[in-house]
Chains A and B, each alone.
Chain A
């Protein structure tokens, strides 16, 4: 908590992650962007293919935000996992 430089780096990462997430939300929220039929993609009017394409785009943005904000550099195992967690050995299998 008190180390200033990692904290600052975390703040920067959080700002960037928030921008990515905001883009994802606004792309769906601002309806006039996609309330139109052209350009069509094959038989699909723009309204439909844009929204369907936006799903994986948002997944990608959220994935980047996750990588930016995850604690330390490594996802698992986390810091300070106390030994002798009762549920641990049998359940480690699906942790990832």
Chain B
């Protein structure tokens, strides 16, 4: 780990290119009036199959994919591959319900997932619960993007040599100021355009890595062999092996529920919903579900970088010497294996790969605040221009919050909070996805199920100790389920609890005839395509002034 001017220079150059693209994006598909949430927050709702593919790919595959997943594989082996299984499952599942969400959002001009919940159940409280969960789960996710950038900067030895805390964090702060500025100006158009650069870099990086590194390391047989030796070695802290090359029978339930729980949760995140809403036509969504797995393949190959890092001579020792931070493994691998100029490209791929989702996440969280808190509770008659202004400033605050998060807390803590994010966000699934199909669930029963699952999931995660360190907290995301006796992803157990509570409470609330709330949607709204689009902005403005009356037609 030493400063390398060539790789750093290339990283800076690509970062500068991306910054220019980010500002220029304001002129891309120029809107008549960018001071409208449909423009700033959803890119004019006009992205076709091609742009949506880059946008969703750039949005869903984050620093978690490029840093945290290979780090998990580096540390525990096969268990980390649940991420591949998860990204395989997610697209067939989303294929089924996302077009319905897109259609109803287009008809009524919804900007956030909570907007739909409000319209469907006529419940401001349930919408607030969904919005709150979205912002809560997004913050640590943005923080994680910063952790990814930090890992690259640490390996590059930028700033980290200084003992002054401010100088140390300065490169990260500069990167984030640039991101904040062009997101503020260009809205969703910035990450959508930068996603082209990001994804090109990612594909180039992974294709070269997957061919070149195994040749340098003596072939795949050698890589799997060395990885197996490392994984079967006993961990002195826990007295058990570090991991395994194949998932063991005891780990199968955790593997499957982590994959399924994550797959169900992914499109509940506000940033994923934002990219869905931004699509131009209903068919764009389904077509994308068939072509997005190209990124899953990238994820699978990136995960294998964790094994290459284990097999690189001396690398595991360097990781151990640097606070045993496995997140350094991929950047270190690049530094070990590649010539300086290509290191720069690989590092830029990771950094820009973290900036794109961070931008979309902050936009999505800002929209939640604007639509479901500001307009709903504070300024019901806010004009579209005012809503956009509020979202612009809220996106800055969200990013500043995430920055404080990373600078103030330890990195391991941020990763564990990301796992908590999954536990939380999955609890909005019943209100959103089941709501796309049925109004059977009572709105307050959904609130109750959500509340119980949120509390239970958070407590259960709090009680999981770090392996080998009894008495510690937030050490993992899986726990033994009392009755079936298997280890299961806590998000999934909480989700089942959520459904049961919501169903039972619905029966009770219906029996005592609690008011069900008005539903502004009609069955055909869930099938609608481009037709009513022209009415959407008008509908959104009408909705601001609010009673639950059907605004279209």
A binds B: yes
- Residues of A whose CB lies within 8 Å of any CB of B are 1, 18, 21-22, 24-25, 27-32, 35-37, 42-45, 47-48, 51-52, 54-56, 58-59, 61-63, 65-66, 69-71, 75-76, 78-82, 85-87, 90-91, 93-96
Output the least CB separation between A59 and chain B (Å): 4
| Chain B interface residue number, banded | 35 or more
Asked if B93 is at the interface of the complex by the 8 Å CB criterion, the answer is: yes
- Given B49, B95, B224, B296, which contacts A45 in the complex, CB threshold below 8 Å? B224
Partner of A55, one of B51, B88, B248, B287: B88
CA distance A66 to B99 in the complex (A): 11
B473 at the interface (CB under 8 A from A): no
Contact, CB under 8 Å: B531 / A80: yes
Contacts of B252 in A (CB 8 A): 31-32, 35
Contact flag A80-B530 (CB < 8 Å), given A35-B247, A62-B290, A63-B290: yes
Main secondary structure of the interface of B (DSSP, over half): helix
**Given the complex of chains A and B, what is the CA–CA distance between A66 and B259 in angstroms?**
24
Question: B91 near A51 (CB under 8 angstroms)?
Answer: no
Q: Which of A37, A55, A86 is packed against the most chain B CB atoms within 10 Å?
A: A55
Can you list 29 A-B contacts with CB-CB less than 8 angstroms, sorted by A residue number? A21-B93, A25-B92, A28-B89, A29-B260, A30-B256, A31-B252, A31-B255, A35-B78, A35-B246, A35-B255, A51-B300, A52-B84, A52-B300, A55-B88, A55-B300, A56-B297, A59-B91, A62-B91, A62-B92, A66-B286, A70-B283, A80-B530, A82-B531, A82-B534, A85-B534, A87-B44, A94-B51, A95-B49, A96-B49
Closest to B296 in A: A55
- Are B531 and A62 in touch, CB under 8 angstroms? no
18 further A-B pairs in the complex, CB-CB below 8 A; given A25-B93, A66-B286, A78-B530: A25-B89, A28-B88, A31-B252, A32-B252, A35-B252, A36-B246, A37-B245, A43-B219, A43-B224, A51-B300, A52-B300, A55-B297, A75-B283, A76-B283, A78-B281, A78-B282, A95-B280, A96-B49
A87's partner among B46, B286, B524, B531 (CB-CB below 8 A) is B46
Is A62 within 8 A of B530, CB to CB? no
Q: Can you list, as one digit per residue, whether each of B67-91 has a CB less than 8 Å from chain A (1) or not (0)? A: 0000000000010010011001101
Closest CB of chain B to A76's CB: distance in Å? 8
Q: Which residues of B contact A79 (CB under 8 A)?
A: 529
Please determine whether B293 and A62 come into contact, CB atoms closer than 8 angstroms. yes
Q: What's the Cα separation between A86 and B96 when bound, in Å? A: 30
Q: Does B470 contact A (CB under 8 A)?
A: no
Q: Is the CB of A51 within 8 A of B92?
A: no
Q: Is the CB–CB distance between B283 and A78 below 8 Å?
A: yes
State in angstroms the CA–CA spacing of A55 and B300 once bound together: 9
> CB within 8 A of B245: which of A42, A45, A78?
A45
Docked Cα-Cα span, A51 to B256, in Å, equals 13
A59/B49 in contact, CB under 8 A: no
Q: Which residues of B contact A95 (CB under 8 A)?
A: 48-49, 280-281
Interface check B459, CB cutoff 8 A: no
The A contact surface, by secondary structure, is helix
A-side contacts of B533, CB under 8 Å:
85
Question: Whose C-beta in chain B lies nearest to the C-beta of A75?
Answer: B283
Residue A51 contacts which of B85, B282, B286, B524 (CB distance < 8 angstroms)? Answer: B85
B315 within 8 A of A: no
Name B255-280 residues within 8 Å CB distance of A. Answer: 255-256, 259-260, 280
Residues of B within 8 A of A81 (CB): 530-531
Query: Known contacts A55-B296, A75-B283: does B224 contact A24 (CB below 8 Å)?
Result: no
Report B-chain residues with C-beta under 8 Å of the C-beta of A65: 92, 95, 286, 290
Cβ of B220 within 8 Å of any chain A Cβ, yes or no, is yes
Please determine whether B50 and A52 come into contact, CB atoms closer than 8 angstroms.
Answer: no
Q: When chains A and B are docked, how far (Å) is the Cα of A29 from the Cα of B85?
A: 7
Nearest chain B CB to A87 CB, angstrom units: 5
Please tell me if the beta carbons of B220 and A44 are within 8 angstroms of each other in the complex: yes
Q: Report A77 CB to chain B, min CB distance, Å.
A: 8
* Chain A residues with CB below 8 A from B49, complex form: 94-96
CB closest chain-A residue, reference B51: A94
Instruction: Decide: A21 near B529, CB < 8 A? Known: A51-B84, A78-B283, A91-B29.
Output: no
Q: Does B249 contact A (CB under 8 A)?
A: yes
Residues in chain B near residue A78, CB distance under 8 A: 281-283, 529-530
Residues of B within 8 Å of A27, CB to CB, are 88
Cα distance A94–B55 in the bound complex, in angstroms: 13
Residues of A within 8 A of B293 (CB): 55-56, 58-59, 62
Min CB–CB distance A2 → chain B (angstroms) = 12
User: How distant is A39 from chain B, measured CB to nearest CB, in Å?
Assistant: 13
The smallest C-beta distance from B347 to any residue of chain A, in angstroms, reads 26
| A22 to B96 Cα, complex, angstroms | 11
Q: What is the CA–CA distance of A71 and B32 in the complex, to the nearest angstrom?
A: 31
Residue of chain A at shortest CB distance from B523: A1
Minimum CB–CB distance for A91 against chain B, Å: 5
Residues in B with CB closer than 8 Å to A1 are 524
In the complex, A85 Cα to B290 Cα: how many Å?
28
Residue pair A37, B256 in contact (C-beta under 8 Å): no
Q: In the assembly, what is the distance between CA of A58 and CA of B289, in Å?
A: 10
> Which of A18, A48, A52, A82 interacts with B297 by CB under 8 Å?
A52
Query: Is B12 among interface residues, defined by CB-CB distance under 8 A?
Result: no
Count chain B CB atoms within 10 A of each CB in A28, A54, A61 and give the residue with the most.
Answer: A28
In the complex, B294 has a CB within 8 A of chain A: yes
* Chain A positions within 8 Å of B515 at CB level: none
B residues within 8 A CB of A36? 246
Please give, as numbers and ranges, the residues of chain B lying within 8 Å of A61 by CB-CB distance: 92
- Complex: A32 Cα to B299 Cα, angstroms: 22
Decide yes or no whether B221 CB sits under 8 A from chain A.
yes
